[in-house]
Structure 1
Amino acid sequence: MKKIASTFFTALFAGAITLGAYKLFFEKPNYAIVTESEGRPVFNTSYTPTSPKGAGINEADFTTAAEMTVNAVVHVKNVSITRDRGSYLDFFYGHGSSARPQVGTGSGVIISQDGYIVTNNHVIENASQLQVMLNNNKVYDAEIIGTDPNSDIALIKIDADRKLPYLAFGDSDHVKVGEWVLAVGNPFSLTSTVTAGIVSAKARNLGKADQSFIQTDAAVNPGNSGGALVNTNGDLIGINTAITSQTGSYVGYSFAVPSNIAKKVVDDILEYGNVQKGILGVDIVRANTPYAIQKGINQIEGVYIAGIEEDTGAEEADLREGDIIKEIDDIKIRKYADLTGYLSSKRPEDTVQVTIERDKEIFTVPVVLKRRQVITVPNMGLEIKNLTKEDMKKFKTKKGVKVVGVPEIYRGYGLEGKVILSLDDQEINDIEEAKVLFGRISRRGRTIMTMINQKGERERLIFQ
């Protein structure tokens, strides 16, 4: 009996030693001793329970947004005709150049039940034949309703035999960096492809002063152009437009035209036939320029006003040189692209509330946007402006545009200060009409310009 008892206590003692050693050397304690010490940092810890699903992408559900989107995104095929120059024998013996069809593809987004589709201008540019294939593989011929090369947005239409699924425009001004988004399109002619990512940045520009893109890391490749960028609710917040890549394929991020800009362009095309642009009327100093560095305004948060244009809303609202634009309509303005991006969604005669900083004081003033009064026309590069009341009185005309700047190549023609009345016998009423007519000038043909000088004398110039 003593032997059994001795063996039992020996085993019990050994077990206790083993358990104690395990607790001491191997098991991590689930408690912490906290003492107050002025010399040690204190870190706040969140005790929010962890979701059983995990964190991040597992929390997001993209299925509803994908189902809402794929049937409203279409495949766009552009057939254009290109001409080969041929050999010098063809030139001398009159065979001429040979024509061959070239096919380009992209995507588009149905925005109404009756078949209006928004896409990129570069997707449908120079099209001699345009076709749209729906997600159910039905193919329709499409017509171009209007385009805006500046924003790279185009509106086309198909006549379907039924009501079509479509996407509603969302509010891109309130898209947040870090928000989940889906890119839907037809990369490499693969229909209805959905990729996911987040909004990486807003108000990006790719070299042009008036660009303002949403940047995302959702995979976008050739063929995605013109497709939809949607949030997790299935709202259309952008039109996928560009990638930055040395290979021509996706390398990590892409860019989309914000939906507010795309919607405004579409509305203008439908209502006016062209894009109506409202300007604030301020000259802006861009960041990282010698002037900005010299003036010590390179690191400011906002947009510095370097000058005020005459006969504009900014002049009427008493904005001044040196003011810093901080907000417009409660939208924060941190850099130039924020300003141009928001104004691109507005029209002439719209009123915006501009918050500025002046002499360390912050206040808000209403500013009425006006039509741009001065532009540079394509092909010839003349700088022209709409006629003021004084100009109309001086030149005794209510139509035409005044030449205020002439490039070096045309300096000897005496154009500056005169009013252009027509181009190739087509009357000009304002700078927008002039822009269209100058854009149609053929370098191989001749152009007839009718002008009037301050003496009331008409002149006709022929440019070969």
Structure 2
Amino acid sequence: MKFKQIVTTVAISVVTAAASIFVYGKYFEQRRPIFVQNESGVPANYARYMPGTEGNVNAAPSDFTTAAKTAVPGVVHIKTKINPRQINSGNMQKRRSILQDLFGDDFFGDEFNGGGDGRRYYIPGQMASGSGVLISSDGYIVTNNHVVADADEISVGLSNGNKVYKAKLVGADPSTDLAVIKIEASGMPYLLYGNSDNVDIGQWVLAVGYPLNLDATVTAGIVSAKSRSIGINKASNGRVNTAIESFIQTDAAVNQGNSGGALVNTAGELVGINSAIASPTGSYAGYSYAIPVNLVKKVVNDIVKYGNVQRAYLGVRYAPSSVIANMSDDQLKEAGIKRDANGVQITDVMPNSSAAAAGLKVGDIITAVNGVRIPTTAQLGEQVARYKPGDKISITYMRDNKEYTVNNVIMRNLKGTTDVVKITSLDKLGADLTDLSKDQASRLGVNGGVLVNDIGNGLLKKQTSMMPGFVILKAGSNNITSVDDLSNALDKQKSLRLTGFYPERGADIYYYNINTNTGDTENL
């Protein structure tokens, strides 16, 4: 029998619940100072290099025994519990009357308008498991965001099975699918960071984790590709898609439960965090994908120091490499894009951005960042993601067949400044939100509003049954015409009702009650 092969990308954790995050720590407490791994504190029994291959971690070992013994103690088994929860249905079937249009909702009170809390229903609890990697002796652990997303309880077991620890979430970054959790412990065996830039295609690597709820398991393979973009990450917060994908692809066997586990070289150094598989069935079928450790280091350090990732933006739009490959010659000509350009072609430059300050223009082709060559959009995303607002970089680009380099380009945040970005009430919603355009508002017959493109992993997902496509018109008593309006309303009032409608469902008005002051969302 012939089957049409459709390679689908699936997250490799058995976590199936909604992706909001339960946080045990207190957001307003002072963060611990940033930590950087230091080889003066090398874990006990650390192999460092395989015998006979000193200084060359890419050399083929006689076996993987030493590397496995080095890595296994530093990889932990993470189990999560999601409690049953009550969801506000949003009074979904209440239709406005002409009297409400004339006199307003407040004139008639809550009973006429659908009641204060609306209908409620329960989502049953769930339990799941995944993997994580100890990165410090005092119990910091990096894992995938999707492993701990929405968890009310997180427990961590060591490979020796001697003890189980309760863990708290330090912070998470859905854009890279990374999270940091912490256990109260000391003297933990941890893995040293390697250098993912030095990972070569054909190099031997080991995947270590807890697949299918088994004990610690080690598999081996080679690096089959680098800088892969496979299209699984979506924007969760803010107004633009900030997903970053530049995976190390390997053929080491990885299955459900390996999520958040270690990809190590033959020296036992951490070179990636296993995150996804490509498979027509949902189980391992040949390839797995790991987040490069050089990106992991930056995300982890930001989370520990600031509580969230301080992400810098170059401020350019470009056609993804995968899109260019599928465009016809006529389409490329119309868009002004070259098919064979060895770099990233700029299709738009955002005002007040790093790229604008650097003098980049539409049509320029970015070829390098800080001297690192950038042949694909995935590599550009990874390189830029390694920097925070205020950092200085150099950008090399082609214009009119000549190559130029501009130095000391100051990286900026999404707002065009170098300020530290703090977590806001709007961030806690966890949704992808955009202002209605003038054309959209005119077509819908409203003065403006906020369109919910994606529910994401935050309060809207956890507390309501809101669906993508909802248009927010009011927050409490405040009329909402923009995302900034919504942000201001949320900052002023922690518990309020979001009022709006679904354009495709007609004139029905929907109400969703939310509370941004709950203790389980402080670090979203």
1:406 and 1:102, CA in 2 relative to 1: closer, same or farther beyond 3 A? farther
Structure 2 counterpart of 1:194, from 204, 214, 218: 218
1:73 and 1:442, CA in 2 relative to 1: closer, same or farther beyond 3 A? same
Stretches of structure 2 lacking an aligned partner (at least 5 in a row): 1-57, 88-118, 234-242, 417-425, 451-456, 467-471, 490-496, 500-510, 512-524
1:57 and 1:325, CA in 2 relative to 1: closer, same or farther beyond 3 A? closer
1:174 and 1:449, CA in 2 relative to 1: closer, same or farther beyond 3 A? farther
2:286 is aligned with 1:252: yes
Tell me: higher relative CO, structure 1 or 2? Use CA pairs within 8 A at least 6 residues apart. Answer: 2
Instruction: Provide the secondary structure at the position in 2 that maps to 1:370.
Output: coil
The one-letter amino acid paired with 1:150 is S
* Alignment-derived partner of residue 150 in structure 1: 175
* Alignment-derived partner of residue 321 in structure 1: 362
1:277 and 1:285 mapped to 2: Cα distance?
21
1:65 and 1:406 mapped to 2: Cα distance?
60
Deviation digits for residues 219-276 of structure 1 (CA, Å, limit 9, x no counterpart): 1111111000111122211100011112221111100111122221111111111111
Instruction: Provide the secondary structure at the position in 2 that maps to 1:279.
Output: coil
Q: CA deviation at 1:277?
A: 1.1
The one-letter amino acid paired with 1:107 is S
Larger radius of gyration: 1
Structure 1 counterpart of 2:160, from 136, 161, 176: 136
The one-letter amino acid paired with 2:358 is A
The one-letter amino acid paired with 1:211 is E
2:401 is aligned with 1:368: no
* Alignment-derived partner of residue 17 in structure 2: none
Contact in 1 for aligned 2:347/2:362 (Cα 8 Å): yes
Structure 2 counterpart of 1:105, from 113, 129, 132: 129
Instruction: Provide the secondary structure at the position in 2 that maps to 1:352.
Output: strand
Contact in 1 for aligned 2:316/2:347 (Cα 8 Å): yes
1:216 and 1:323, CA in 2 relative to 1: closer, same or farther beyond 3 A? same
Give the alignment's TM-score, normalised by structure 1.
0.69
Instruction: Provide the secondary structure at the position in 2 that maps to 1:71.
Output: helix
* Alignment-derived partner of residue 447 in structure 1: 475
Alignment root-mean-square deviation, CA: 3.6
Instruction: Provide the secondary structure at the position in 1 that maps to 2:295.
Output: helix
Number of residue pairs matched by the alignment: 360
Greater displacement, 357-366 / 236-245? 357-366
* Alignment-derived partner of residue 433 in structure 2: 381
Q: CA deviation at 1:302?
A: 0.7
Q: CA deviation at 1:438?
A: 7.5
Structure 2 counterpart of 1:121, from 129, 132, 145: 145
The one-letter amino acid paired with 1:415 is G
Contact in 2 for aligned 1:61/1:232 (Cα 8 Å): no
Q: CA deviation at 1:440?
A: 7.7
1:449 and 1:317 mapped to 2: Cα distance?
43
Stretches of structure 1 lacking an aligned partner (at least 5 in a row): 1-55, 86-94, 384-402, 419-434
Q: CA deviation at 1:74?
A: 0.4
Instruction: Provide the secondary structure at the position in 1 that maps to 2:280.
Output: coil
Instruction: Provide the secondary structure at the position in 2 that maps to 1:382.
Output: strand
Q: CA deviation at 1:60?
A: 4.7
1:275 and 1:216 mapped to 2: Cα distance?
27
1:134 and 1:293, CA in 2 relative to 1: closer, same or farther beyond 3 A? farther
Instruction: Provide the secondary structure at the position in 2 that maps to 1:306.
Output: strand
1:407 and 1:381 mapped to 2: Cα distance?
14
The sequence identity of aligned pairs, in percent, is 42
Structure 2 counterpart of 1:78, from 70, 77, 80: 80
Q: CA deviation at 1:61?
A: 4.1
1:148 and 1:413, CA in 2 relative to 1: closer, same or farther beyond 3 A? same
Instruction: Provide the secondary structure at the position in 2 that maps to 1:278.
Output: coil
